[in-house]
Structure 1
Amino acid sequence: MTTVATKRDYSLLGRDAEAAVASGLAAAEWYHTDIPRKQMKELMKREDGPAIRDTAIWLGSMVLLGGLGIYFWGSWWAAPFFLAYGVLYGSASDSRWHECGHGTAFKTMWMNDAVYQIACFMIMRNPVTWRWSHTRHHTDTVIVGRDPEIAVMRPPDLLRLVLNFFGIIDVWHAMIDMVRNAFGAISAAEKTFIPEMEQPKAIRVARIWLAIYLATIG
């Protein structure tokens, strides 16, 4: 007897989302290794110095590379500088978005928040939406229908993976979400992980950022 596998529903409002809740996978208590509180505090010790140095090098390098790209504009010499600038802009901002969102980069929380906001703006992520999206991701990691941040789905879509390596699909969807939020609409999927009291803040931030994006383009 051959079993035919059904295609998974990765949406947050679909069949697999309901199944995850019904089977107890949503917000489940998983096995974890017990670490003494004192040892955990030692492992989680943070310092501002290294993070400030790293941030200064990151932003300073972008200013330098961008300046050299502009200086050599009109010749092929500009290409490597803009390529390096693009890598630092996209890849490095993503890692800083993640760590500062968790509050693990700096010891001082406002520094984490500041860099988190900058990184979110650079990669077109609403900081309110993505803070709660990532909270859900860590609550229901890779639970189909519950985790909104599953990057590689099954069966894998190789074209999508290649396009998203350059952020092409993500940017398109990010812009659609930003415009929708700016017009005061929170999607049904977003409502499953953004608390009701936080939704007006997501709308307000989207309006501010969209205005800045449009002003920059204009």
Structure 2
Amino acid sequence: TDMLRNAAGIISPAEKTFIPEQEQPKAIRVARIWLAIYIATIALALYLHSWLPLMLVGLPRLYGAWHHVMTGLLQHGGLAENVIDHRLNSRTVLMNPISRFIYWNMNYHVEHHMFPMVPYHALPKLHEMIKHDLPPPTPSILAGYREMIPAFLRQLRNEDYFLKRVLPPTAKPYREELHNDSPVAAAAE
């Protein structure tokens, strides 16, 4: 419905709070382009008497969105916010090969945040190279939700609560100058 409203040239009051005024015409133009793509896809499917165009454009958002939400929540859910060290606010989750493929290895999320220029296909190898500096990975999607859901419920009562990630004794500081026991941090106090 947001796309249809935007395609009609209407930006909602809520959208106006985060879409700068100079970008609003672009949002309308993009909505109109997507609407044209969807209409053309539906027309092609009707013309061909085939579901195939819809299976390629449009329907993937419907039948794949659950997986995106399921894996996306695991990235940071229940963890610390406003911390500089990504090992403390991101989670690496070991997943099945199909989910890893669909998710482009973003289950190696700590690694992705620490080294964002590493391509997705190299994240498993990067994980093996630096795992001695990382919290232990969450062993499965289910284990991630078992850890995360109680944290979410507790955060409803106490918004300052978060799951504390424990770094192994072999872990080196992410950036020495940002840690309290460094000379730079002590001089800043």
Between the two structures, name the one with larger relative contact order (CA 8 Å, sep ≥ 6): 1
Larger Rg: 2
Query: When the two structures are superposed, what TM-score results if normalisation uses the length of structure 2?
Result: 0.31
| Structure number having the greater helix percentage | 1
